[in-house]
Structure 1
Amino acid sequence: MSVARDDLPAVSRRRVRLALRAARERTGLSQSEVAKKLGWSLSKVQRIELGEVTISPTDLRAVLVDIYQLTDEALITELVEQARVARRERYWTAPEHRDHLPPGLLQLLQFEQAATSIREYQSTLVPGHLQTSAVVDATLAWFDRMLSDDARRVLRDVRLTRRERMITRPGGPDYLLLLDESALWRVVGDPAITADQFEYLAEVAQRPNMHIRVLPMDNGTLMGTFGAFVVLDLSDQPDDAVLYRETYLHDEIVEDAGEVAYHRDVFDRFWRRALDEEASRTLVLARVFDLRARIARTLGQDQGKES
């Protein structure tokens, strides 16, 4: 593991909880039996295995050695260190992020840094981290009754920071964006802002780790019923992945292996049905030219009326 991955509490918490569950299952013990042996409540064992709470390094060593009879000292030492990292969440997360970012996004920010590949499907808008600053402002303005000025500022800063990290970070993840064609026909802010956004998207699409495809509307009806989602692979192991979902009011990280795998499979099936990357970029640029032509026509008509 790289140093960066070792410093991510959400990733460390996931490693620990998966290792504990795997060790328990190897012994054949139930969660109730483990709780009884430790003198803990059943809910404590369940919440630790679900990743809802962390386990102290001391308790972790006791469980691994005394209950699960683990003898691999190197593995025990590694997991104990990860348990320490997992408990640093409060120190890793900026106070204003804790105050203004939803819980799923807080975890997503860490999983993005650990990801080896990211698959993202968006049915309505260009993803936040690929939005221009003007589009970020326009989209956040929709939440004028829900967000304070401080919350809007923090969300804006996070989107722009994520954009830099996802696109320019050395050794960044392989990023696959599947964008429904309908997103190209929505004007955000105004036609000029939208044209700038799509021009930027076409520029980003040329970077070696960025792969952007457009799913034609006549192929994307069923895909659209899933809503936006992101699958993040954290290593080359098929089960080492998480799912991020976001709706208008809520977001969540899903770690159920079956559900993550299902969404990855759906993504890959529709990825193959989408326009290839060159054709997708051409379509995005065609939309840019169309918007700029509309702007020019409108400007010419207005000038004609004034003369």
Structure 2
Amino acid sequence: MPEGDSPTVARRRVRLAIREAREHADLTQLQVAEEMEWSLSKVIRIENGDVSISPNDLRPLLTFLRIRDKETIANLVADARIARKRQRQAWYQTPEFRENLTDATRKLIEYENEAAQMRSYSVYFVPGPLQTPQYAVALMTRYEDELTEDQRQRRIAARQLRRDALLGRASAGEVRILVMLDESVLRRTIGGPAVFADQLRELRQLAADNVITIRMVPFTLDAAVTNNAMFDLLTLGEGEVLYRETGLGDEMNEDRETTGKHRARFDKIWDEAADEAATLAFIDDQIRKLEKLQ
């Protein structure tokens, strides 16, 4: 899909142009809402990328924000059409998933479909798209007091759909996935020895097939990537976006300073972590130990 036809990049281009023009005009979101006779929440959701703006709403908004270049206006209107048309077709925007996935998670899924590179770090569990179905079920069961059965089932289904899409793109060479796991992730037997052994075998195979590149942060390395439990840093055609998850909460951050700091920290620890060969040797040893417990 050409970059200009991408719903993700198109919507991102529109909302960033709107936000930058508003800030350049020294206007608040409330002032824009009052002038356009919109609710403040509508302006916030448009600028955050939670919703797409229609071409009919975009044209007068651009006039108010003093964007008068005809080519710029035409390109933004075209982007707005693409973003809205493609958004309605996405599986993660259907009612059953919208009701059970957070806004940040849906954005993450959308960005995964467009990213050229993905850096994933976790200190507690295997990242979602790399989880086997049995591991995902065992992990989600731990949240039975916080999430309903329907929410858990939808999130498990979403992980499988994410997995199919992301790993399919990685297998085709469309996205490079760098995975950095704390040693604890490769020791924590979520689901029991049999389920966890299968999960480790899956990681081993994905690495062997060059679908992912994986490194371990050993306990002996006195360095932390971040205070957050996990994050995904995705490189798009126009910058980077950061998804952070802590317990039951998550967020999407596109601030350049924040994404830059996470990128620098990830790359620094990546160079200091156990390399691929040592990581795979550790995984093989863990599998052998788990097989003896079955």
TM-score normalised to the size of structure 1? 0.82
Specify which of 218, 225, 228 is matched with residue 226 of structure 1: 228
What aligned pairs does 1:58-97 form with structure 2 within 5 A after superposition?
58-64=56-62, 67-73=65-71, 75-87=72-84, 89=87, 92=90, 93-97=93-97
Query: Which position in structure 1 is the counterpart of 2:267?
Result: 268
Query: Is the 1:24–1:68 Cα contact (8 Å) retained in structure 2?
Result: no
User: SS of the counterpart of 1:177?
Assistant: strand
CA 1:160–1:35 in structure 2 vs 1: closer, same or farther (change >3 Å)? same
> 2:174, 2:140 → 1: CA distance?
27
Over 6 Å off, 4+ runs: none
Unaligned residue ranges in structure 1 (runs of 5+): 296-307
Aligned-partner residue type, residue 293 of structure 1: K
Query: Which position in structure 1 is the counterpart of 2:35?
Result: 39
CA 1:63–1:148 in structure 2 vs 1: closer, same or farther (change >3 Å)? closer
Query: Which position in structure 1 is the counterpart of 2:120?
Result: 120
Query: Is the 1:175–1:210 Cα contact (8 Å) retained in structure 2?
Result: yes
Query: Which position in structure 2 is the counterpart of 1:15?
Result: 13
CA 1:265–1:90 in structure 2 vs 1: closer, same or farther (change >3 Å)? same
Query: Is the 2:21–2:65 Cα contact (8 Å) retained in structure 1?
Result: no
Equivalenced residues, count: 287
What aligned pairs does 1:212-223 form with structure 2 within 5 A after superposition?
212-219=214-221, 221-223=223-225
Which whole-Å deviations, capped at 9, do the CAs of 1:72-129 have from their partners, x for residues lacking one?
52x4323112223444545531211011112211111101001111101010111121
Query: Which position in structure 2 is the counterpart of 1:286?
Result: 285
Query: Are 2:247 and 1:251 aligned?
Result: no
Query: Is the 2:176–2:212 Cα contact (8 Å) retained in structure 1?
Result: yes
> 1:195, 1:59 → 2: CA distance?
53
Residue identity over aligned pairs, in percent, reads 36
Aligned-partner residue type, residue 162 of structure 1: R
Tell which structure's C-alpha radius of gyration is larger.
1
Across the aligned residues of Structure 1 and Structure 2, the Cα RMSD in angstroms comes to: 2.8
Aligned-partner residue type, residue 172 of structure 1: E
CA 1:150–1:108 in structure 2 vs 1: closer, same or farther (change >3 Å)? same
- Is the deviation greater in 33-42 or in 240-249? 33-42
> 2:98, 2:33 → 1: CA distance?
36
Which whole-Å deviations, capped at 9, do the CAs of 1:41-89 have from their partners, x for residues lacking one?
795656644445543313323344564344252x432311222344454
TM-score normalised to the size of structure 2? 0.86
Query: Which position in structure 1 is the counterpart of 2:189?
Result: 187
Query: Is the 1:35–1:41 Cα contact (8 Å) retained in structure 2?
Result: no
Measured after TM superposition, the shift of residue 36 of structure 1 is: 7.2
Query: Which position in structure 2 is the counterpart of 1:305?
Result: none
Aligned-partner residue type, residue 109 of structure 2: L
